[in-house]
């Protein structure tokens, strides 16, 4: 498809995503480099490159790339979700929460942002707030596996093992 459409940005994004799903980082990076040649202002390409760098434990580069995406497109909620993920990996929960709340200001129905906020609140010990956010995420997308997994953890920590098991099973069903 890329050969037939060498100027199609979306085709290169699809190719990069496919490579990442297979764990093939270098070909994914090359596909994203092709995107940036065609569209040097692509915030999405910068966030994906940032996630590649994070996978390879090059966190400084990951932060720079995601910040570049935000500079290019300040209303791109996925960049803030990815920034939140990076902050969370560094153990900076307050910064992770602030970034994900920014994403939710832009798009209040962003499932991943809502779910990530719930997970961050759970990590901070705000069980009630976490459950509220996770339930809101499921209202947006009832099949969002990470949200079901997070609810499973919440119930598990509360000693509610039947509910935890039910959520873990839903997570597994939703992944398929």
Question: Tens digit of pLDDT per residue, the chain (176 long)?
Answer: 777 777 789 899 999 999 999 999 999 999 999 999 999 999 999 999 999 999 999 999 999 999 999 999 999 999 999 999 999 999 999 999 999 999 999 999 999 999 999 999 999 999 999 999 999 999 999 999 999 999 999 999 999 999 999 999 999 999 86
CA torsion, points 85, 87, 91, 96, in degrees to nearest 10? -80
In angstroms, rounded to a whole number, what is the distance separating the alpha carbons of residues 173 and 142?
11
> For 79-110, how does the pLDDT look when each residue is reduced to its tens digit (9 = 90+)?
999 999 999 999 999 999 999 999 999 999 99
């Amino acid at each position: 498809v890329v050969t037939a459409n060498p100027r199609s940005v979306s085709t290169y994004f699809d190719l990069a995503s496919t490579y990442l799903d297979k764990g093939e980082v270098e070909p994914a990076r090359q596909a994203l480099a092709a995107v940036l040649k065609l569209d040097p202002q692509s915030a999405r390409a910068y966030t994906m490159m940032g996630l590649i760098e994070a996978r390879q434990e090059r966190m400084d580069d990951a932060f720079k790339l995601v910040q570049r995406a935000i500079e290019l497109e300040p209303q791109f909620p996925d960049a803030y979700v990815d920034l939140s993920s990076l902050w969370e990996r560094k153990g900076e929960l307050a910064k992770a929460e602030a970034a994900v709340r920014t994403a939710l200001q832009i798009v209040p129905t962003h499932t991943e942002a809502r779910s990530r906020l719930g997970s961050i609140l759970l990590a901070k010990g705000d069980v009630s707030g976490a459950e509220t956010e996770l339930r809101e995420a499921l209202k947006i997308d009832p099949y969002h596996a990470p949200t079901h997994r997070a609810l499973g953890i919440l119930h598990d920590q509360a000693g509610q093992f039947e509910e935890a098991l039910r959520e873990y099973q839903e997570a597994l069903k939703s992944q398929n």
